[in-house]
Amino acid sequence: MTARQRLLQVLGTPLGLLAIIGCFTLLFFTLFAPVIWGEEARMTNTDRILEPPSDEHIFGTDGSGRDIFKRTLVATQLSVVMALAATAAGVLGGIILGLLPLITGGRGGRYIVAGINIGVAFPGLLLAIAFSVILGESGLAAALAIAIAMMPNYGRLTHNLAASVWGRDFISAARVLGVPTWKIVARHVLPNVRDPLIVNAAMTAGNALVAFAGLSFLGLGIQVPQYDWGRLLNEGVSRIFVTPAPALVPGVAIILAGLTFVLLGEVLGKVLTPDTHRSLLSRIRQRKNLPDTTATSDEADVNEESVLSVRNLHVAAPADKTNWRPLVEGVSFDVAPGEIVGMVGESGSGKSLTLMSVAGLIESPLHVSADAAYFDGEHLKLQPDGHPSALDKHFGQKLAMVFQDPMSSLNPALQVGTQVAEPGMLHLGMSRKEAKDAAITRLNDVRIPEAERRFNQYPHEYSGGMRQRAMIAGGLMGKPSLILADEPTTALDVTVQAEILNLLRGINEAEGTAIMFVSHDIAVVTSLCTRVLVMYRGHLVEDISSADLRNGLAQHPYTKALMETVPTMESPRDRPMASIPDDADFSSGNSSDAETAPEESMR
pLDDT at 157: 93
Classify 341 as helix, strand or coil: strand
Segment 145-149 shows an average pLDDT of 95
Closest Cα partner for 99 from 173, 151, 172, 168?
A: 151
- Within 10 angstroms of residue 93's Cβ, the number of other Cβ atoms is 17
Segment 544-570 shows an average pLDDT of 83
Q: Is the pLDDT of residue 556 over 50?
A: yes
Peptide bond into 225 cis (omega under 30): yes
User: Which whole-number Å values give the CA distances from 172 to 166, 167, 177, 476, in the listed order?
Assistant: 8, 7, 9, 36
410 touches 419 (CB < 8 A): yes
**What one-character-per-residue DSSP string does 476-519 give?**
TTS--SEEEEESTTTTS-HHHHHHHHHHHHHHHHHH--EEEEE-
pTM: 0.59
pLDDT at 389: 53
Whole-number Å distance between alpha carbons of 450 and 302: 45
Lowest-pLDDT choice from 305-309, 358-362, 538-542, 552-556: 358-362
Q: Is the pLDDT of residue 3 over 90?
A: no
16: pLDDT confidence band, cut at 50, 70 and 90?
A: confident
Name the more confident of 174 and 209. Answer: 209
Q: What's the mean pLDDT when you consider all of the chain?
A: 82
Whole-number Å distance between alpha carbons of 104 and 178: 16
Pairing mode of beta strands 340-344, 514-518: parallel
Phi, psi (rounded to 5 degrees) for 333: -165, 165
- Within 10 angstroms of residue 9's Cβ, the number of other Cβ atoms is 20
Q: Is the pLDDT of residue 429 over 60?
A: yes
Whole-number Å distance between alpha carbons of 244 and 495: 79
- Within 10 angstroms of residue 395's Cβ, the number of other Cβ atoms is 19
Segment 154-171 shows an average pLDDT of 87
Q: Is the pLDDT of residue 287 over 50?
A: no
Q: Where are the domains of the chain?
A: 71-270, 555-603
In this predicted model, what pLDDT tens digit does every residue of 227-284 receive, in sequence order?
Answer: 999 999 988 888 888 888 888 999 999 999 999 999 998 888 888 765 444 433 344 3
Segment 72-94 shows an average pLDDT of 94
**Helices (H), ranges, 177-323:** 181-184, 190-217, 229-237, 245-272, 280-288
89: pLDDT confidence band, cut at 50, 70 and 90?
A: very high
Segment 387-391 shows an average pLDDT of 54
In this predicted model, what pLDDT tens digit does every residue of 192-233 receive, in sequence order?
Answer: 888 889 989 998 999 999 999 999 999 999 998 899 999 999
User: Which whole-number Å values give the CA distances from 577 to 333, 344, 580, in the listed order?
Assistant: 32, 20, 10
Pairing mode of beta strands 578-579, 531-536: unpaired
pLDDT at 565: 75
Segment 323-347 shows an average pLDDT of 89
User: Which whole-number Å values give the CA distances from 53 to 48, 88, 323, in the listed order?
Assistant: 11, 38, 54
Q: 71-270, which class in CATH?
A: mainly alpha
In this predicted model, what pLDDT tens digit does every residue of 30-60 receive, in sequence order?
Answer: 999 999 998 888 888 878 888 888 888 888 8
**What one-character-per-residue DSSP string does 355-400 give?**
HHHHTT---TTSEEE-SEEEETTEE----TTS--GGGTTTBTTTEE
